[in-house]
Chains A and B, each alone.
Chain A
Amino acid sequence: MSMNLDMISLNSEFSEGTGLRTEEMLLNVGPQHPSTHGVFRLVVKIDGETIKESLPVIGYLHRGTEKLAEGLNYTQIIPYTDRMDYLSAMTNNYVICHAVETMMGIQIPERADFLRVIVMEMNRIASHLVWWGTYLLDIGAMSPFLFAFRDREMILELFNELCGARLTYNYMRIGGVKWDAPPGWIEKVKEFVKHLKKEIENYHALVTGNEIFINRLQGIGKFDAKTAIDYSLSGVMLRSTGVKWDLRKDEPYSVYNRFEFDVPTATEGDCLARYQLRMAEIEQSLRILEQALGQFPEEGEIMGKVPKVIRPPQGETFVRIESPRGEIGCYIASNGKDKPWRMKFRRPSFNNLQILPKLLKGENISNMVAILGSIDIVLGEVDA
C-alpha cells in the first residue's frame, strides 16, 4: 500500500537552550507488530522521544464485507459478521439479526432472547479478558495474560459446547438462535460465573492496586467528554469521560430491561480510567449473567415464526447496540428482495481509532503502545 507521506514533512532545528541539533525522524510501526493487535500500521514522526505527528494506515484486513453482503441473503451474511469483531462475534451476530428483525417485526421467543443475552455477556467478558491480558502484556506484565487466557478458555469451551465453535460462532439466526443449550450447560455457566467472581478479586490484587501500574497509566491518553462526543467515540472510550451512556440501559434491546446492572463511568478520561471501567464492566456482565441464568426459561422455542425466505420490506433501517468496544450499528437498505441492497456496519473500533493521532500528539513515544492499547481495537472490525 503506497501512502501519502507528503502529509508528514520533516525538518530539523536547534533545540532551545541546549544548542543541540535535533532532527525529526519517521518511525514506522506495523502493519506486522505485536502491539498493534493485528495488521495496523502507524507512521509516527518523532523528535527525540516526543511524537510530533502520527498517521494511522488501515485497510490491510479489508475484506469488503459490505460488498459481499450485497450478493448474499441475510442468513448467509451472519458468518461474515463473525469475522469483523472476532473477539465478540456474538454481538456482531446479534446486530444483524436485530436489524432484520426490526425491519420485519419478528417476535423472538423468550428462551432465545435469554440465550442471546447470556452468550453476548459471556462474549463481553471473554473480550474484556483478552483486552486485559494483552494490554498488560503491552505495558510489560506477562503473567496477567496467562490468567486471562486461562479463564477466557473456559468461556470458549462453553461456547464450543453450545455451538461448536470457539471464535466464529455463527450462532444466531434471524428469529432466534441456532442451537438450544445442551443439558447441563446452564449449570456449567453458573459454575463459571462463580469461578470468575472469585478470580476477579485475584486480578485486582495482582494488577489494579499496583503502584507502578497506576503511575504508568494515570494521566496519559487523556481527553474530555466534548472531544469524545465530537469524535464519535462510544463504549468505554466515551464512558471514561463521564458520559453515562450504555445502549443496553438507555435504548434497551432484547431482554436487557429485565436485569439490574450499573453503567460504570469515570471522569478522568485517561488510560487508567478505561482500565478500571473495563474491569468494572466484567463485574456488571457477571451480574447480568447471574440474573439471566436465574430467570432462564425452563423450556420453550428457540426460533420465532420466520418466513422461509427472509425478505425485509422495502425501506431502510439502522439499529445500534452495545458491543464490548462501543456502539455497533447495522444499516440495511432493502428493496424487498432476499438480499440487501446496501448493508453498512457502524463499527466501534473504526470510529474509536480516529482519535489516535490527536491523543499521540506531544506524547512520549513510550506511551504510544499504552494509548493505542487502551482504545481496544480489533482490526477485523476497523477494516471490515
Chain B
Amino acid sequence: MSEEKRKPTPEEKAKAAAEAREKLEAARKAKEEQAAQASAPEAVASSPEQNAVKAEAEPASADQLAQAKAEAAAKAKAAAAAAAAAKAKAAREAAEGGATDTKAAETEAGGADADAKAKAAAAAKAKAAAAAAAAAKAKAAREAAEAGATETEAGGADADAKAKAAAAAKAKAAAAAAAAAKAKAAREAADGGAAETEAGGDDADAKAKAAAAAKAKAAAAAAAAAKAKAAREAGEGGAAGAEAGGDDADAKAKAIAAAKAKAAAAAAAKAKAAGGDAADTEAAPKAPSKNQPHLDHIVKLITEKFGSEVIEASYINELAKEVPTLVIKNENWHDVAKFLKENDELSFDYLSNLHGVDYEDRMEVYYHFYSYKNRQNLAVKVKTDREQPTVASVMNIWSGANWNERETYDLLGIYFPGHSELRRIMLPEEWVGHPLRKDYVPFDEEV
C-alpha cells in the first residue's frame, strides 16, 4: 500500500481500487496510514501550497478555471465519499487534517469568476455522483479520489505548477477525509457544506448552485448523523455552516435553512441517543430471570443429596433463552445425572442434545435436558481435562445418549466410560485423529 502511495500511476490505482473490494481487512491498515499521512506529511505540504494559491488569487486568469474545477471536484468527492462511507468508526485526526486543508483552499476560491464557478459547480455535481458510487467502500473511495487528482492535473493543461500542486494537495485531503469517513463522516460532510456556502461569490447562479449542493450535503450529513455518535459531529458542522453565511441575503437565508435542518436532525438524533441511554440505565438493575426459582430449586435438591461441592457453578444463561445452567464436577457426574432423571421433583427424562466442545485448555460436554413432567429446561456442562478427556457415559440413564456420545467420541475424542460400544459413527474406523479438535491436522498417508 505505502509503495503505491509513493509512486502513483493511474493503472496501479485503478487496479488497487478494484482490489479494494476484496481486501476488506486492509481497510483498517489504510485507515491508520491515512491518519499518519494527514497528520504528518500533509500538514507540512499544505503551507507552501496555500501561499501559492494566495499569490494566484490576484491575477485572475484562465488558470483559475482549471483550478476552480479541480477544487470543486476534489471537494465534491470528499463530501460524497465521506457521506457514502459514513458507517464505521474513524480516524478523527485524518478527518481534521482534510477538513482544514479543504476549507482553506475553498475560501480563496471565493472571488473566482462566475462562469468558472458555474462550470465548477456543475462538474462537482457530476463528479460527486460518480464519486458517491465509487466511494461505496472506504478504501475504494480513497483510491478514487487519488485517481481524480490525477485526472484534474491532466485536464488543466495550461494550469501552472502551483495550481497543479494545489489540486493534488486538495485531492489528497479529500482522500484522507474519505478514508477517515467511517462514522465521524457526518462532520466532514457538514464542513464541506459550510465551505461551499463560503465559496458563494457575487454571481447569483453560482451561489444558487453552491447552496443547492450544500443542501444536498446537509441532507447527506443528516442521514449520516442518524447514528448517535455522528449526531454530535453533525451539530458542530451545522454551527459552522451557519457562521459561513455569505454577504448575499439569499445565500444566507439558504445557509441558515440548511443549518437549521442540520441542527434539527442532530437534535433529533441526540434526543434519540439520550433516550436510548436513559432506557439502558433504566434496564440496568435487571429483574431476576423467571427461571431463577427453578435453578435455585434444582441446586437445592442436588446440594441436599450430594453436598455443595458437586456443583462447580450455576447460572441463568441469558443468551440461551434463560436456560438454567449447571456445571457439575466430573467425578460426580454419573450420580448426579441419575438423580436428575430419577428424582420426582426434577425428572429430567428427555435428553435433547449432547455434544462436546474443545476450549483448547479444557474440554466440555454440554447436555440439554427437558422434563416433560415439569415442563422445564436444564443445561448441564461437565468439564474434563484435554489430554485424557473422560466423562462418564449416561447411556444407561438416557438411551438417546448412545449415538450422541459416539459422535462426540468420534469427532472430539472424548471417552465415555460405561458406554457399551464406543466406536466411531461418522468416520471410518481407520480414521486418524478427531476432526473437531482445535489442533487437528488431517492425516496424510504420503507423509
B401: chain A residues within 8 A (beta carbon): 232
Contacts of B368 in A (CB 8 A): 318, 320, 329, 331, 346
- Determine whether A350 belongs to the interface, using a CB cutoff of 8 Å to chain B: yes
- Given contacts A64-B435, A232-B352, are A103 and B399 in contact (CB under 8 A)? no
B319 located at the interface, meaning its Cβ lies under 8 Å from any Cβ of chain A in the complex:
yes
The reply to whether B372 and A316 contact each other, CB–CB distance below 8 Å, is no
Q: Which of the candidate stretches B57-65, B126-134, B424-432 sits at the interface with the other chain?
A: B424-432
Q: Which residues of A contact B357 (CB under 8 A)?
A: 316, 333, 341-342
A316-B319, A319-B320 known; A229 vs B426 contact (CB < 8 Å): no
Stretch at the interface among A1-9, A107-115, A189-197: A1-9
- Which residues of B lie under 8 Å from residue A64 when comparing CB positions? 435
B429 CB to nearest A CB, Å = 5
A315 and B399 CA atoms in complex are apart in Å by 29
Q: Is A13 an interface residue (CB 8 A)?
A: no
Residue A354 lies at the interface, judged by CB distance under 8 Å to chain B: yes
User: Are A232's CB and B400's CB within 8 A?
Assistant: yes
Contact A331 B403, beta carbon cutoff 8 Å: no
B253 located at the interface, meaning its Cβ lies under 8 Å from any Cβ of chain A in the complex = no
Task: Flag whether A284 is at the interface (Cβ < 8 A).
Answer: no
Are A1 and B428 interface neighbours, CB within 8 A? yes
A367 to B93, CA, bound (A): 77
- In the complex the two chains form, what is the Cα distance from A245 to B375 in whole Å? 10
Which single residue of chain A is at the shortest CB-CB distance from B410? Answer: A59
A316 touches B320 (CB 8 A): yes
Chain B residues with Cβ below 8 Å from A66 are 411, 436
Q: When each residue 306-318 of chain B gets 1 if its CB lies under 8 Å from chain A and 0 otherwise, what string results?
A: 0000000000011
Question: For the complex, would chain A's binding face be called helix, strand, loop or mixed by DSSP majority?
Answer: mixed
Tell me if A270 counts as interface (CB < 8 A to partner B): no
Q: What 1/0 flags go to A215-237 for Cβ under 8 Å of B?
A: 00000000000000111111000
Q: Please give, as numbers and ranges, the residues of chain B lying within 8 Å of A156 by CB-CB distance.
A: none
Q: In the complex, what distance in Å separates the CA atom of A62 from the CA atom of B428?
A: 10
Taken together as a complex, chains A and B put the C-alpha atoms of A204 and B42 apart, in Å, by: 81
What are the residues of chain B within 8 A of A120 when measuring CB–CB?
none
Cβ–Cβ < 8 Å partners of A308 in chain B: 87-88
* Residue B353 at the chain A interface, CB threshold 8 Å: yes
B320 and A58 contacting across the interface, CB-CB below 8 Å? no
Q: Which B residues touch A59, using CB under 8 A?
A: 424-428
* B429 close to A231 (CB less than 8 A): no
User: From residue A97, how far is it (CB to closest CB) to chain B in Å?
Assistant: 15
- Neighbour of A62 across the interface among B321, B426, B429, CB < 8 A: B426
Q: A102-B321, A230-B349, A313-B319 are in contact. Are A2 and B358 (CB under 8 A)?
A: no
A315-373 residues with Cβ-Cβ distance < 8 A to B are 315-320, 327, 329, 331, 333, 341-342, 344, 346, 350-351, 353-354
**B320 CB contacts on chain A under 8 angstroms:** 102, 316-319
Cβ-defined contact, A232 with B398, below 8 A:
yes
Binary contact readout B263-294 vs A (1 if CB under 8 angstroms, 0 otherwise): 00000000000000000000000000000000
Q: How far is the CB of B140 from chain A (nearest CB, A)?
A: 16
Pair B366/A354 contact, Cβ less than 8 Å: no
Q: Could you tell me the distance between the alpha carbons of A250 and B404 in the complex, rounded to whole angstroms?
A: 25
B358 proximity list for chain A (CB < 8 A): 342
**Which residue of A has the minimal Cβ distance to B401?**
A232
User: Interface code A140-182, partner B: CB below 8 Å = 1, 0 otherwise?
Assistant: 0000000000000000000000000000000000000000000
A383 within 8 A of B: yes
* Among candidates A229, A318, A383, residue contacting B349 with C-beta atoms closer than 8 Å: A229
Q: Does B262 contact A (CB under 8 A)?
A: no
Q: A231, B423: Cβ atoms under 8 Å?
A: no
Given known pairs A245-B372, A342-B358, the reply for A317 and B429 (CB within 8 Å) is: no
Q: Which of A1, A315, A353 makes the CB contact (< 8 A) with B429?
A: A1
Residue A67, interface by CB 8 Å = yes
With beta carbons under 8 angstroms apart, the residue of A58, A67, A318, A350 that contacts B323 is A318
Find out whether the CB atom of A58 lies under 8 angstroms from the CB atom of B353. no
Chain B residues in 8 Å Cβ range of A312:
319
Which B-chain residue is minimally distant from A64 (CB atoms)? B435
Q: In the assembly, what is the distance between CA of A229 and CA of B436, in Å?
A: 29
A308 CA to B183 CA in the complex, in Å?
13
Q: Which residue of B lies closest to A355 (CB)?
A: B399
Task: Return chain A residues, CB-CB under 8 Å to B335.
Answer: none
CB-CB under 8 A from B383, the residues of chain A are none
Within 8 A of A (CB), among B39-87: 87
21 contacts between A and B (CB under 8 A): A4-B429, A7-B421, A59-B426, A229-B349, A229-B350, A231-B400, A232-B350, A232-B351, A234-B352, A312-B319, A315-B319, A318-B379, A319-B321, A327-B352, A331-B368, A344-B355, A351-B400, A351-B404, A354-B399, A354-B400, A354-B403
User: Using a CB–CB distance below 8 Å, which chain B residues touch chain A?
Assistant: 87-88, 317-321, 323, 349-353, 355, 357-359, 366, 368, 372, 375, 379, 398-404, 407, 411, 421, 423-430, 435-436
